[in-house]
Chain A
Amino acid sequence: MHNKSIAELAKGLRSGEFSSLELTTAFLDRIKRHTGLNAYITVAEELALEQAKAADARLAKGSAELLTGIPIAQKDIFCTDGVKTSCGSKMLDNFIAPYDATVVEKFNDAGAVMLGKLNMDEFAMGSSNETSYYGAVKNPWDVNTVPGGSSGGSAAAVAARLAVCATGTDTGGSIRQPAALCGITGLKPTYGRVSRYGMIAYASSLDQGGPMTHSAEDAAIMLQTMAGFDDKDSTSVDLPVPDYSVGLSRSLEGLKIGLPKEFFGEGLNADVAATIEAAIEEYRKLGAKVTEVSMPSLRLAIPAYYVIAPAECSANLSRFDGVRFGYRCENPADLTDLYTRSRGEGFGKEVKRRILMGTYALSAGYYDAYYIKAQKIRRLISDDFKRALSEVDVMMGPVTPSTAFGIGEKIGNPIEMYLSDIYTIAINLAGVPAMSVPAGFAKGLPVGLQIIGNYFTEDRLLNIAHQYQQVTNWHQSAPKGFE
């Protein structure tokens, strides 16, 4: 059952081949067998069984939707009413969310079953899932390597078949990079497409939630539920949501693909490059025309990002003050001591580093030199995307410069870790949608192909990914021991 697509599972639930309770129990059993991956922070067994029974009743009544009774899991950044929502931090280790995120509410309304909350880098700050207060997640393809981050628990859980699919969030690559390193499909939608209400904020002008699944077909179903205008999110965009499944089968004849030459330069691992080139060759066979494009400002994406994201993070995380919720230090001497020690003891090292960086960039005398300068660079990067995407339909390239790296390999050198996000970060600055699609293996580890589209063309991206998945089966490969 754990290898079936959402559509196949929905069919099985309707034909009576299995119930949601049986399906949910099977996944809960798998989760218990594979706790060594550390993919889950909280397993919501009781709630999941309750939701499964309710889903079975709804199926029997004939009022079920496609996701009714399907066991999914939420990244622990989404608030879940009555269930611990830690954001991977000691700061929120005692935090039982008092309300549901809009995304969670939408899955609940659809009748999906929530198996639990997935591990992640602390406050989504990290590229390896090693900054989590709950410990590193292991990549099911090689347990000595990282699953990527920050949605590392989501990627590992889907790859290991510990959930049918999962949510993730992406501020600088946090859906696409772990999807690539774990060999699954991940989609970062256009900024404003999916509600951020109840999604704990890291960098509000970059954060975006999205689906992490085996296939583009499953991602289309998940995004259908997640997307849409939300009055509770002030940056939500009020545009109609298209039917993401209906266009999946469109032909790619005449599709114009641009390869940004900046994505194929120095620093790209040769095996990864060869895998990406083979994937692009498949697209040529499907009728696509491939040309080179250039985005000259791209080289400044990492510096601009590491001003803007920490600046926003330092403002967003000021809410954790030890007064209304979250961690509070023992015996504070006065109010300043309460703030300073609660924050000092509650946050981990990477979060502190980014708060310090952001505070510095926003402080008097440095604001123009760093923050305004970075926002101007952001405009130039965004203009590069607009120009390139007026010449071609989509752009393609690698998601990451290498396959999964070793646990412990980069955590001691933050700058080196930041540089590994070279191909994903610019997309968030521009706000366009992008996907990671399993494209094969390099020395036994998964490689992700990145597909970047224009604003609000998620339907087209899904179609392009789906057509590739009709002629390849990389997205169906399961890691050894998890088949």
Chain B
Amino acid sequence: MVSLTADDVKKIAHLARLGIEEKDVASYAKDLSGMLDLMTQMSDLDTDSVEPMAHPMDQVQRLRADVVAEQNKREKFQAIAPQVEAGLYLVPKVIE
């Protein structure tokens, strides 16, 4: 039986930069513990000699010629941004 504590959940949420409400922490801890319980079944099987599979076709990343393929659409992309000014994306001050 794997059991995650409220502190574990808060730590994971911080790693993911994911805000979760205090009132939901207990239910996430319960759900994630349930999922981890399900996953312990995997240890039933000896997989020492098995190669991990990342891609169904065992294909490797394809390379392409280093040439410009897309047009610059900055204005179109920035039209859907939360906050822009003078062609730049705005965020809260990072450097004091």
A residues with CB within 8 A of B:
94-96, 98-99, 190-192, 205, 231, 234-235, 237, 297, 299-300, 302-304, 306-307, 314, 318, 321-328, 332-341, 343-345, 347, 349, 352-353, 355-357, 359-360, 363, 370, 372-380, 382, 414-415, 418, 429-432, 455
Contact = CB atoms under 8 A, between A and B. Distances in A.
Nearest to A299: B41
B89 A372 contact: no
A307 B38 CA distance: 10
A115 B54 CA distance: 37
Contacts, number: 164
B42 A379 contact: no
Contact of A431 (B19, B34, B57, B82): B57
Given A306-B35, A347-B18, A374-B39, 13 more contacts: A96-B79, A192-B56, A306-B38, A324-B77, A340-B19, A343-B17, A353-B31, A356-B28, A359-B16, A376-B47, A377-B45, A378-B53, A415-B38
Interface of B: 4, 9, 12-13, 15-21, 24, 28, 31-32, 34-35, 38-39, 41-45, 47, 50-57, 59, 61-62, 64, 73, 76-77, 79-83, 89, 91-94
B35 A415 contact: yes
Contacts of A326: 82
Contacts of A373: 42-43, 47
B16 to A, nearest CB: 4
B19 A324 contact: no
Contact of B32 (A94, A99, A357, A431): A357
Chain B binding surface SS class: loop
Given A325-B81, A341-B19, A356 B32 contact: yes
- Main SS class of interface, A: helix
Contacts of B17: 318, 321, 336, 339-340, 343
A123 B8 CA distance: 25
A436 B31 CA distance: 30
B65 to A, nearest CB: 10
B12 A360 contact: yes
B56 A360 contact: no
B19 A343 contact: yes
A459 to B, nearest CB: 18
Given A234-B62, A325-B81, A379 B19 contact: no
A205 B19 contact: no
Most A C-beta atoms less than 10 A away, residue of B12, B62, B73, B77: B12
B12 to A, nearest CB: 5
A453 to B, nearest CB: 14
Contacts of A431: 56-57
B51 A376 contact: yes
B39 A306 contact: yes
18 contacts: A235-B57, A235-B59, A237-B57, A299-B41, A302-B38, A307-B42, A325-B80, A326-B82, A328-B82, A340-B18, A352-B18, A353-B28, A355-B18, A356-B13, A357-B35, A376-B47, A377-B47, A455-B57
